[in-house]
Amino acid sequence: MTATATSPSATILPFAEPLKAVRDTRPLRLITCGSVDDGKSTLIGRLLWDTKAVKEDQAATLARDSGSQNDLGLPDFALLLDGLQAEREQGITIDVAYRYFSTDRRSFIVADTPGHEQYTRNMATGASTADLAILLADARAGLLEQTRRHATIAALMGIRQFVLAVNKIDLVHYDKAIFDRISHDFREFALSLGVRQITAIPMSALKGENVVYPAETSMPWYDGPTLVEALELATVRSTQAGGFRLPVQRVVRPGESFRGYQGTVAGGSVKPGDSVVILPSGTVANVSRIVTFDLVRNAAVAGDAITLVLDRQVDVARGDVIVSLDGQPMTGHHFDAQLVSLQPGGIEPGKRYWLKSGSRRQRVAVEPISQLELATGKWQPHASTLAMNAIGKVRLSFEELAVFDAYDQNRSTGAFILIDPDTLNTVAGGMITAKRGEVGGIHRDQGGEGQRVVLSLPADLAEQLMASELFANRRDETEVKRMTAKQAAELFSNAGGDI
């Protein structure tokens, strides 16, 4: 220790050249999916430990509470999440906890959700803001139905980057063949969900192999990234490419001559001179200034909290959306959506809820259509109450004009929550899929009338098609069967004539 060791208070080590961390992106938000059995607590504990997110006092607590060590002489990493465990003992429902760590290259926000009980609801909450999902699999058990369920929910919530952590690889003697088989199975499954960015990593969270530090000695056959390297390389989601969207949070009028519209840019970008439309009214105006506390602003992009000044007096209120003239969102009274039911009462057909999206709150009636069967990935017809944790397709009907993007186009303007008018609790999280016509239904619901096309494709081409978002969004309308080229040829020779 240092010369200050006799100090009665906390000790600070002497000066040296401080590390200058580079923060060239916003924090990467991720969700960890898996159960205690898969070693999730150990993995998160290991991440926090090896990146030094654990502070001295926490470490001291850990040492005090952890009477026994494991056979590596290391503390029990699961105990790092001690506060939660204490809560668990008190019978408090654990849902989502957020944890923070950083490397020299990037910082991370982890949504930590429990693996089993009520996992759909909790996973949906954690996944709603995540850029990436870490899916845990026990190398001894392989790919379980649970992993498939977690992957399905993560994909549904719009996550397009998966890391498969094949954990406890030390317990299968670092067998490359086992790792290859699990990661191949997972890759196939993830592709079918429309997820193409997949990294599979063999690891031992307990021993710290391939989490933060590489493990060339025990796994010379693996030359991919460690978990932290994969996370450092992951891309953060950006909606800068689409049309400009500014949900108006407040109108600021400090004096008669100044009128600004405050909000967070939810898509695209804007600069002075741009023509914009105010929705739902449809009024057109031009941007004259972008005002922020930091004075000079020539442009603003998705994510920026700004104050927009327009070139003319127009009627704009909280809840309106200011959008680019080109590439406008959908407006209408009827929309299709998918939602996750979050509360014991479920989502009742025909009940009028409050819907909040962006800064807008309006009345909506919800009509369930189908429910996702997580075990099979199939949508089953379901017109009654969507129970807690159910994932359903619904029709939304608004009394006043609504403004949305499809969720796969914009994760801000395509997302909403439902609020129960009786309890005022948040009862569902939802994602807009499409706008419906004012009368009648969408054509695809008209049973056997619609035309179908049967294709026979090379497997690799079919996989690429299935990995597209377009395909993934309508996967429930498709049927896929794998077969040999010979079988396909026979099938086609027996098929209807006008193909």
Partner 1 sequence: MPLSVQETEVKNPPVSRPPLDPHLKALENEAIHIFREVAAEFEKPVMLYSIGKDSSVLLHLARKAFYPGRVPFPLLHVDTTWKFREMIEFRDQIAEKYDLDLVVHTNPRGAEEGITPFSHGSALYTDIMKTEALRQALDAGGYDAAFGGARRDEEASRAKERIYSFRTPDHKWDPRNQRPELWNIYNGMVRKGESVRAFPLSNWTEVDIWRYIQAEDIPLVPLYYAAERPYVERDGMMILAEDPRLELLPGETVQQGMIRFRTLGCFPLTGAIRSTASNLEEVIAELEIATVSERQGRAIDRDQSGSMEKKKREGYF
408-427 residues near partner 1, rule: CB under 8 A:
411-412, 415-417, 419, 424-426
The answer to whether residue 213 forms part of the interface with partner 1 (CB under 8 A) is yes
Q: How far apart are CA 199 and CA 185, in angstroms?
A: 13
| 155 residue type, one letter | A
Question: Which residues in the 268-297 window bind partner 1 by CB under 8 A?
Answer: 291-296
Least distance to partner 1, CB of residue 255, Å = 4
SS3 content of the chain, % helix, strand, coil (to 5): 25, 30, 45
CA-to-CA separations, 14 to 5, 8, 11, in angstroms, rounded: 11, 17, 9
Least distance to partner 1, CB of residue 234, Å = 15
Question: Which residues in the 374-413 window bind partner 1 by CB under 8 A?
Answer: 411-412
The answer to whether residue 301 forms part of the interface with partner 1 (CB under 8 A) is no
The answer to whether residue 464 forms part of the interface with partner 1 (CB under 8 A) is no
Which residues have a Cβ under 8 Å from the Cβ of 19 and sit 6 or more positions away? 104
Least distance to partner 1, CB of residue 469, Å = 19
Least distance to partner 1, CB of residue 421, Å = 9
The answer to whether residue 65 forms part of the interface with partner 1 (CB under 8 A) is no
Least distance to partner 1, CB of residue 17, Å = 9
User: Which pairing describes strands 107-112 and 97-102: parallel, antiparallel, or unpaired?
Assistant: antiparallel
Tokens of 324: 């680019």
Q: How far apart are CA 417 and CA 168, in angstroms?
A: 38
Query: Per CB under 8 A, which region of 186-194, 270-278, 298-306, 477-485 contacts partner 1?
Result: 298-306
For partner 1, the closer of residues 250 and 444 by Cβ is: 250
For partner 1, the closer of residues 296 and 453 by Cβ is: 296
For partner 1, the closer of residues 97 and 144 by Cβ is: 97
The answer to whether residue 318 forms part of the interface with partner 1 (CB under 8 A) is yes
Least distance to partner 1, CB of residue 294, Å = 6
| 461 residue type, one letter | L
Q: How far apart are CA 103 and CA 52, in angstroms?
A: 9
For partner 1, the closer of residues 365 and 419 by Cβ is: 419
Which residues have a Cβ under 8 Å from the Cβ of 100 and sit 6 or more positions away? 53, 107, 108, 109, 110
CB 149 within 8 A of CB 121: no
Q: What are the start-end ranges of the E strands in 374-425?
A: 378-381, 391-404, 415-419
Q: What are the b/e assignments for 152-177, b being 16+ CB within 10 Å? A: bbbbbbbbbbbbbbbbbbbebebeee
The answer to whether residue 254 forms part of the interface with partner 1 (CB under 8 A) is yes
For partner 1, the closer of residues 263 and 368 by Cβ is: 263
The answer to whether residue 75 forms part of the interface with partner 1 (CB under 8 A) is yes
Tokens of 358: 């962006």
For partner 1, the closer of residues 179 and 416 by Cβ is: 416
For partner 1, the closer of residues 211 and 466 by Cβ is: 211
Tokens of 165: 């952590």
Query: Per CB under 8 A, which region of 53-61, 147-155, 370-378, 395-403 contacts partner 1?
Result: 53-61
Cis bond upstream, residue 280 (ω within 30) = yes
Query: DSSP label at 1?
Result: -
For partner 1, the closer of residues 34 and 75 by Cβ is: 75
For partner 1, the closer of residues 137 and 205 by Cβ is: 205
Q: Which of 371, 350, 364, 367 is nearest to 401 (CA)?
A: 364
Binder among 34, 202, 263, 268 for partner 1 (CB under 8 A)? 263
Binder among 358, 386, 394, 402 for partner 1 (CB under 8 A)? 358
The answer to whether residue 102 forms part of the interface with partner 1 (CB under 8 A) is yes
The answer to whether residue 73 forms part of the interface with partner 1 (CB under 8 A) is yes
Q: Which of 454, 478, 452, 484 is nearest to 466 (CA)?
A: 478
Least distance to partner 1, CB of residue 245, Å = 13
Question: Which residues in the 117-156 window bind partner 1 by CB under 8 A?
Answer: 121, 124-125, 128-129
CB 454 within 8 A of CB 483: no
Query: Per CB under 8 A, which region of 145-153, 189-197, 260-268, 391-399 contacts partner 1?
Result: 260-268
Neighbours of 484 (CB within 10 A): 8
Question: Which residues in the 322-341 window bind partner 1 by CB under 8 A?
Answer: none
Give the total of residues touching partner 1 (CB under 8 A).
Answer: 98
Q: Which residue has the tokens 């017809």?
A: 381
Question: Which residues in the 23-42 window bind partner 1 by CB under 8 A?
Answer: 23-27
For partner 1, the closer of residues 52 and 444 by Cβ is: 52
Q: Which of 193, 185, 138 is nearest to 161 (CA)?
A: 193
For partner 1, the closer of residues 83 and 441 by Cβ is: 83
The answer to whether residue 89 forms part of the interface with partner 1 (CB under 8 A) is no
Which residues have a Cβ under 8 Å from the Cβ of 433 and sit 6 or more positions away? 335, 336, 337, 338, 393, 406, 407, 408, 473
Binder among 194, 202, 208, 329 for partner 1 (CB under 8 A)? 208
Q: Supply the angle between the helices 145-156 and 119-127 in degrees, to the nearest 10.
A: 40
